[in-house]
Chain A
Amino acid sequence: MKDRHQTTSHEIERYAGLFAKRTRQMRSSAMRDLMAITARPDVISLAGGLPDTASFPPETFAALTDRIARESCAAALQYGPTEGFDATKSRIVEVMAAEGMRADPDDMVVTTGGQQVIDLITKTLIDPGDVVICEAPTYPGAVPTFSSYEADVIQIEMDSDGMRVDLLEETLERLDRDGRRPKFIYTVPTFQNPAGVTLSAPRRQRLVEIARERELLVLEDNPYGLLRYEGEPLSPLYAIDGGEYVLYLGTFSKILSPGIRLGWVCAPAPVLAKVKLGKQAADLCTSSLTQFLVDAYFDEGVWRRYVSDLCAIYRQRRDAMLDALAEFFPREAEWTQPSGGLFIWATLPEFIDTGDLLAKALREERVAFVPGSAAYVDGRGGSSMRLNFSGANVNEIVEGIRRIGKVVDEQMALFSTFVKKNSGDSASGIAGSGRDDVSDSQSSSEPMADVVELPRRRDERRAQGS
């Protein structure tokens, strides 16, 4: 046993020589360490994506586990089939029907959370250097997955109607000219993580058409579709396409519990066969115990009511956050207005790096958010942040936003003292400094007014600078 601990620095260096190239893609440890502090109990965290599991009735949970113990103890403690139990699949059919999708149990595999779907699909489709297309910004949790398979990730700008499919087509044309064909398009079309925006109905149609025309796969990640707080639901891409080119990722995490780690993927048979092989290699099967739990829970017939309870809670929290943003964030800041989901994406003047701002916010105000650069693969997003409104109560949300607003105000006041004197000769240069050059390269010719992650205030200068 003792030998295990005898790790010397030279041995570590020796290990470093053995690390796969893909491990180099990992984020800076300084930033990881910073994020670790956000979980401290004295910090108001708007950083996580945590559903409000406290609203789940403990007595219901106790009754369910009791029932499993009495009725199916041995089976719940046993391995299960790689693709998941039939009972789980029939519950999934029910959940998908609630969003207007007709799913066939034979087309699905039950997975260990939705995250495993991203991993399995990337593993199945991507060789090093292959192109994956996703939104800009994209789900931060997908970035390390794409990186670990050495995908070449290309991000497409969004506006308040979701991914700009016109820019998508331009990008596909450009790739075509270079003789490159993306393997799949990853999208969170409804209440996107992190931006909170929803892909409009016409764009949904067009995206599906593009996939069909070009024979491309689309991975539709839809964890939040049932968490709608206003307006009419839009058809999921999967429903529009009928499951030919659209792969569907679903999860019980946001409608029941992330702790049970249950998600699923629906895909055409040839893709599904590879996914099953991949899953066998990864973890053999999804937890039997939690599949039994879901089955027992759905038997109670209350899941729709619980989802609507959650919607009521989250709607109130979202409203509180939007009100607080209007009150405490500076005039120059912008943020999205989600009709559902868990997140708001806010963008500050570009001279503020939200990674550094997080350090100040933690140090002085004990409040946390996710710096925007986590949602990009190319260093963009530096002045944006993701704010979560599901994991904190209304008072915490208001206080948290007040505190963030305070540190932002301080940075802005300070900045004004640096540039007052020089504004005449150097302002355009400041706006065009290093980090932003990348973001201009794709879109400088496009109207920028509706692009999600960019502050409008400096757009003109940026366009000039590039």
Chain B
Amino acid sequence: MTPRRVAVLKGGPSLERQVSMRSAARVEDALERLELDHVSIDVGGTLVDDLRAADADVAFVALHGRGGEDGTVQELLEIVGIPYTGSGVLACMRCMDKVLTKHMLREAALPTPDFFAFSEIAFKELGAGEALPAIEERLGFPVVVKPAAQGSALGIKFARDARDVPEALIAAFSYDDRVLLERHVEGRELAVSLLEGDAGVEALPIVEAKPRQEYFFDFEARYEIGKTDFVCPADLPADVTARAREVATDVYRLLGCYGFARVDMILSAGGETQVLEAQAIPGLTETSLLPQAAEAAGITFEQLVLRMLEQALARDGSPAPAG
């Protein structure tokens, strides 16, 4: 099924607005090359009206972060009745919330680093500060402190010992009212992108992110040109590759993702894959990992965009096009 007219949703008020604008710009270019009619919407207060006015039969959601990737916009699209790319409301909520993701992984016996999560209320009203030493003892150092819901590397801090923890918590709480303290697992960083097609979900070639030594603990530098080297396909033994792809596919299914997603994991020194998180709407910029993986699988960016749109239109129970 070929889309008649595509509404590209981009921007919005999230902290990842700029990344979204870059993802969308690339999608818009691809749509032009595909000669598909499209209209772009900078997501804001008039979104519902804009969607109705757009006269589109499918929406390409090129949004990242809060509002766009957490099920909010997806819910609105359901209400307005426009099929959209990527995961549905529930899977988006699960992916955006790292704590929820990790609880689900743990319950399903999928490997993920040990963690504890706290809300601001736990500290302010329930005296959670008293529990910090016990947590630190349980997790062991170093600990990674993350906001529960923040797609980019912003707010992720590395605590080498107990003295780093309060500042790291304050930083993480700047991005969300819940934070995650996670045991740092040393190892290789792998990103497994998943893409659905006629044959079901397919794990694409694995991308390995190799931060240059000087940036090793600088999480914000991780996905920048010149500070991290990306290798795709990652140079891994066949059984490790197979295992990582299998785990990623399990995560994808567990969270109920649809169309595509990206699962980030660490390959520990012991050879075990530990899942860190899943991105419901991974970046689609020139430096993003999903497009790199697709390319390594012989899928051009245009083919990728087209496939995402076709999946959106083919979704079971997807609402009838508006108008």
Contacts and interface: CB of A to CB of B under 8 A. Distances in A.
A239 to B, nearest CB: 44
Nearest to B126: A417
B225 A12 contact: yes
Interface stretch (A121-129, A131-139, A153-161, A358-366): A358-366
B227 interface: yes
A34 B230 contact: no
A351 B169 CA distance: 10
B1 to A, nearest CB: 25
Nearest to A354: B174
A5 B30 CA distance: 8
Nearest to B32: A5
Interface string A319-347: 00000000000000000000000000000
B186 interface: no
Given A13-B230, A28-B224, A434-B164, A414 B154 contact: no
Nearest to B161: A429
Given A359-B175, A414-B123, A430 B287 contact: no
Contact of B33 (A5, A413, A417, A430): A5
B92 to A, nearest CB: 19
Contacts of A415: 166, 170
Given A8-B301, A359-B175, A411-B170, A417 B225 contact: no
A16 B230 CA distance: 11
Nearest to A360: B174
Contact of A430 (B127, B167, B286): B167
A420 B174 CA distance: 20
A418 B129 contact: yes
Contact of A7 (B120, B163, B169, B286): B286
Interface in B34-67: 66
Contacts of A411: 170, 173-174
Contacts of B227: 24
A8 B129 contact: no
B175 A433 contact: no
Contact of B15 (A28, A353, A359, A433): A359
Given A10-B292, A24-B227, A36 B173 contact: no
Q: Is the interface of A mostly helix, strand, loop or mixed?
A: helix
Contacts of A42: 13
B184 to A, nearest CB: 15
Contact of A417 (B17, B123, B163, B220): B123
B: interface residue count bin: 35 or more
Interface string B217-234: 010110011110010000
Contacts of A9: 286-288, 291-292, 295
B132 interface: yes
A192 to B, nearest CB: 28
Interface string B142-153: 000000000011
A29 to B, nearest CB: 6
Contacts of A414: 120, 123-124, 169-170, 173
B16 interface: yes
Contacts of B155: 356, 359
Given A9-B286, A12-B287, A34 B15 contact: yes
B287 A418 contact: no
B76 interface: no
B222 to A, nearest CB: 10
Nearest to B123: A417
Interface in B285-303: 286-288, 291-292, 295, 300-301
Identify the interface centre among A30, A32, A351: most chain B CB within 10 Å of its CB: A30
A37 B167 contact: no
A214 interface: no
A330 B247 CA distance: 49
Nearest to A418: B166
Contacts of A432: 163
B224 A29 contact: yes
A40 B43 CA distance: 13
Interface of A: 2, 5, 7-10, 12-13, 15-16, 19, 23-24, 28-34, 36-37, 40, 42, 351-353, 356-357, 359-360, 362-363, 411, 413-415, 417-422, 426, 429-430, 432-434
30 contacts: A2-B33, A5-B29, A8-B301, A9-B292, A12-B286, A13-B225, A19-B226, A24-B227, A29-B224, A33-B19, A37-B13, A37-B15, A42-B13, A351-B166, A351-B167, A357-B174, A359-B175, A360-B175, A411-B173, A413-B124, A414-B120, A417-B127, A420-B129, A421-B133, A426-B162, A429-B162, A430-B167, A433-B163, A433-B167, A434-B160
